[in-house]
Chains A and B, each alone.
Chain A
Amino acid sequence: MNKDTHNINHRRIAELLNRSAGQLDPQIVASLHQASAAALQKQGAHQHAFSLSTIGHRAHKIMPHSANQWLATTVLLAAIAFSIADYLQQSPDQHNLDIDILTDELPIEVFVDQ
């Protein structure tokens, strides 16, 4: 019952719209057609397709542009490099050496400058 009512309503609305569209001034109808065509064209242009140039474009967005941004990027990279160097200094090799020094038959004083 409800479904039929919906169908009737849709049909009636469509009929009414067609009738009213037929009563519109031809210039207005032409303008509406133009606007509809333009909107469809714009929608097509904004749909992104994946391509290698898309990556390039994004990379360009990420890359620093001004001198300040370059400076900040350099500082950031230096800090990362410093952290990595600091981490590597505390590598397993260092801990092996420490254990060796602490357990060697030679006393620790031989290697330590007091």
Chain B
Amino acid sequence: MKILFIALTLLCGLNVPQASAAPTPWQKLTPAEQVALAPLYPQWQNLPETQQNNLRRLAQRYHNLDANAKRRFLTRLATWAQLTPAQRQAAREKYHAFNKLPHEKREQVKQIIKQNQIMKSQEAVSAAASTPVSSPLPSDQP
């Protein structure tokens, strides 16, 4: 019975901190972390502590990135943070699988994706051009 009690106590001890630990306030982040995590400033307080810790670990590597990588990091961070853990895990698996492909195939896929992006942006531009612009002022005619 003594061991059962100890086991249950330890189990509670293992689970409680994750569930009830308070998130880290933005002000407690280091200036370097604040720079790296700036896109998440509005929602930082609402992020779970585990996610905050993971993001802070990512932020530690931000300052070693080159300028292009930093720009991409900052642009994508908010989208990344909004994903569910399952979505993030699926993305990691996809990325891992993609990197296992031979170099030529990866380049082919990159070309296809780039072409698709260009097509989509062209479609978006043409769709915006064909949409009639509505007058912001109310019409005087009945």
User: Which residues of A are in contact with B by a Cβ distance under 8 Å?
Assistant: 64, 68-69, 71-73, 75-76, 79, 83, 90, 94-95, 97-108, 110-113
Give B79-91 as 1s and 0s: 1 = Cβ < 8 Å from A's Cβ atoms: 1100100011011
Identify which of A79, A97, A100, A105 contacts B110 (C-beta below 8 A): A105
Residue in B4, B10, B94 whose beta carbon sits within 8 Å of that of A69 in the complex: B4
B137 CB → nearest A CB, Å: 38
Q: Do B117 and A111 touch across chains, with their CB atoms under 8 A apart?
A: no
- B residues contacting A by CB (< 8 A) are 1, 3-4, 6-8, 10-11, 14, 50, 54, 57-58, 61, 65, 68-70, 72-73, 76-77, 79-80, 83, 87-88, 90-92, 94-96, 98, 110, 113, 117
Distance between Cα atoms of A100 and B57 in the complex (Å): 14
Closest beta carbon of chain A to B66's beta carbon, Å: 9
A11 to B120, CA, bound (A): 113
The closest CB in chain B to the CB of A103 belongs to B69
Nearest CB in chain A to that of B80: its residue: A102
* Contact A104 B95, beta carbon cutoff 8 Å: yes
Ordered by A's residue number, 20 sampled pairs between the chains whose C-beta atoms are within 8 Å are A72-B6, A73-B7, A79-B11, A79-B14, A95-B57, A95-B58, A95-B61, A98-B58, A98-B92, A99-B58, A102-B58, A102-B73, A102-B80, A103-B68, A103-B69, A107-B113, A108-B91, A111-B94, A112-B83, A112-B90
**5 further contact pairs, Cβ within 8 A, besides A103-B65, A111-B94:** A98-B54, A98-B88, A102-B72, A110-B94, A112-B83
Asked whether, in the complex, the Cβ of A76 is within 8 Å of the Cβ of B113, the reply is no
Nearest Cβ distance between residue B107 and chain A, in whole angstroms? 11
Quick check: B54 and A95 within 8 Å, CB to CB? yes
User: Which residues in A have their C-beta under 8 angstroms from that of B83?
Assistant: 112
Rounded to whole angstroms, the CA-CA distance of A64 and B70 in the bound complex is 55
Residue of B nearest to A82 (CB): B14
A99 with B4: CB separation less than 8 A: no
- Residue ID in chain B nearest A109 by CB atoms: B79
**Given A101-B80, A108-B80, A112-B83 in contact, is the A73-B57 Cβ separation under 8 Å?**
no
